[in-house]
Amino acid sequence: MILHLPKILDPDQLARCRALLAEAEWADGRITAGTQAATAKNNRQLPEDSPQAQTLRGIVLEALSRNAQFFTAALPKRIYPPLFNRYGDTANSFGNHVDNAIRTHPASAQHVRTDLSFTLFLNDPEEYDGGELVIEDGFGGRPVKLPAGDLILYPSYSVHRVEPVTRGARLACFSWLESMVREPQRRELLYELDMAILSLRQEQGETDTAVRLTSCYHNLLRMCAMV
């Protein structure tokens, strides 16, 4: 399941992020790439210990923790501390690759199994040409380029790339997460059920049927969740 989650960041949060990114010092993006990915990766990234990156991570994690749709879609158990990248000038693309299955955070030594990847766009598509995130889906790939503040959530097992940026610069936050429900089909079924129950409650209010279906949802989640 590839999911577009709109308006994760509001305009104030975006403005704070953009100000922090403008004063930060960028490094070579290969600092966090695996061996295969490093050969394809050509972008800039904030070092994980830069002061701006630490503040930016706080803004993003707080926004994610308040977003109910992100929670039900991802059912996050652990989120790798988000990273920030810039594609532009001569460091402007990331060829086809797969994200490493396990990320180990250098500061905490904590392992995160990457079930889902996300990219949170931090500037608008009009500010640059190219820079589409292309997620291979068996039909030649799906190009994704979203408004600032919007997030794309996709399976970490997907082959994906970022097309060259040919004008301006593309700014984004990205990371990976381990889900409480490891199997994609179970996670997707739970998400569909939760969204359907939400629609039912919006259309018909708190009916007995809605209560019984909500009970089914939570009992299924109990069966599937590994916490």
Binding site for Ni ion (CB under 5 A): 99
Shortest spacing between CB 130 and Ni ion, in angstroms: 17
Q: Give the Cα separation of 186 and 50 in Å (integer).
A: 38
Shortest spacing between CB 135 and Ni ion, in angstroms: 10
Q: Which is nearer to Ni ion, 51 or 143 (CB)?
A: 143
Q: Which is nearer to Ni ion, 99 or 163 (CB)?
A: 99
Shortest spacing between CB 25 and Ni ion, in angstroms: 23
Shortest spacing between CB 55 and Ni ion, in angstroms: 24
Determine the 3-state secondary structure of 134 from DSSP: strand
Q: Which is nearer to Ni ion, 57 or 161 (CB)?
A: 161
DSSP assignment letter at 91: B
Q: Are strands 160-162 and 133-135 parallel, antiparallel or unpaired?
A: antiparallel
Q: Give the Cα separation of 4 and 147 in Å (integer).
A: 11
Q: Which is nearer to Ni ion, 171 or 190 (CB)?
A: 171
Q: Identify which of 70, 32, 74 has the alpha carbon closest to the alpha carbon of residue 53.
A: 32
Let me know: does 121 contact 147? Beta carbons within 8 Å: yes
Query: Each residue of 168-204: b (16+ CB within 10 Å) or e?
Result: bbbbbbbbbbbbbbeeeebbeebbebbeebeebbeee
Q: Which is nearer to Ni ion, 99 or 178 (CB)?
A: 99
Shortest spacing between CB 170 and Ni ion, in angstroms: 14
Q: Which is nearer to Ni ion, 99 or 194 (CB)?
A: 99
* Strands of 142-144's sheet in order across: 41-42, 93-97, 160-162, 133-135, 142-144
Structure token digits, residue 157 = 């097992």
Shortest spacing between CB 160 and Ni ion, in angstroms: 6
Nearest residue relative to Ni ion (C-beta): 99
